[in-house]
């Protein structure tokens, strides 16, 4: 009787075992490892090219989709907690951006109004000079 603790198999090891059962002894362990490693890499870590009518669209790797599903709620909770604990800082930043943005927009509109008036005035002067 053995007292050894069974080490859990990795995903790659489980895949190798299943393929080994299906194919039998047609492949060496080394060849099988290469195939499984390449398949796992392609499935989980490489972008997928998908034809979408007239164009090719590249979708994110499967690992991105899995992580997005798994981590969305955790990230949302973290952001909400940060906002709750840093409320004063966030309000200052939002107010500063709003004030700067409104001020900049107002100055730009004012500048546009005066610049068009100045261009018209310049053209009138040039026309008078050209008439002389």
Give the separation between CA 3 and CA 72, rounded to whole angstroms.
Answer: 42
> Considering its fold, how many domains does the chain have in total?
3
Domain range enclosing 101 = 89-132
Query: Which residue matches tokens 């906002």?
Result: 83
Dihedral sign computed on CA atoms, order 106, 109, 113, 116: positive
For residues 41 and 55, membership in a common domain is answered with no
Give the separation between CA 61 and CA 14, rounded to whole angstroms.
Answer: 21
Query: Which residue matches tokens 């198999």?
Result: 9
Provide the pLDDT for residue 14. Answer: 83
Query: Which residue matches tokens 């989980």?
Result: 44
Domain-embedded: residue 53: yes
Q: What is the tens place of the pLDDT at every residue in 26-80?
A: 777 788 788 888 888 888 888 888 888 888 988 888 888 888 888 888 989 998 8
Asked if residues 36 and 13 have their Cβ atoms less than 8 Å apart, the reply is no
Domain-embedded: residue 1: no
Lowest average pLDDT, out of 3-7, 15-19, 58-62, 128-132, goes to: 3-7
Give the separation between CA 123 and CA 91, rounded to whole angstroms.
Answer: 48
Extract the tokens encoding 76.
């949302």
Provide the pLDDT for residue 85. Answer: 92
Q: Which of 59, 38, 41 is nearest to 49 (CA)?
A: 59
Provide the pLDDT for residue 44. Answer: 85
Q: What is the tens place of the pLDDT at every residue in 70-124?
A: 888 898 999 889 888 998 898 888 788 777 777 777 777 777 777 777 778 788 8
For residues 99 and 62, membership in a common domain is answered with no
Domain-embedded: residue 2: no
DSSP string covering 55-109, please?
A: EEEEEPPHHHHHHHHHHHHHHHHHHHHHHHHTHHHHHHHHHHHHHHHHHHHHHHH
């Amino acid at each position: 009787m053995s007292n050894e603790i069974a080490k859990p198999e990795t995903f790659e090891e489980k895949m190798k075992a299943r393929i080994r059962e299906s194919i039998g002894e047609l492949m060496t362990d080394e060849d099988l490892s290469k195939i499984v490693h390449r398949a796992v890499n392609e499935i989980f870590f490489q972008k997928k090219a998908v034809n979408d009518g007239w164009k090719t669209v590249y979708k994110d790797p499967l690992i991105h989709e899995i992580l997005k599903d798994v981590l969305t709620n955790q990230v949302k909770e973290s952001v909400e907690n940060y906002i709750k604990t840093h409320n004063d800082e966030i309000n200052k930043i939002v107010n500063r951006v709003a004030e700067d943005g409104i001020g900049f927009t107002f100055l730009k509109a004012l500048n546009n109004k005066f610049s068009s008036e100045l261009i018209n005035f310049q053209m009138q002067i040039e026309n008078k000079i050209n008439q002389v």
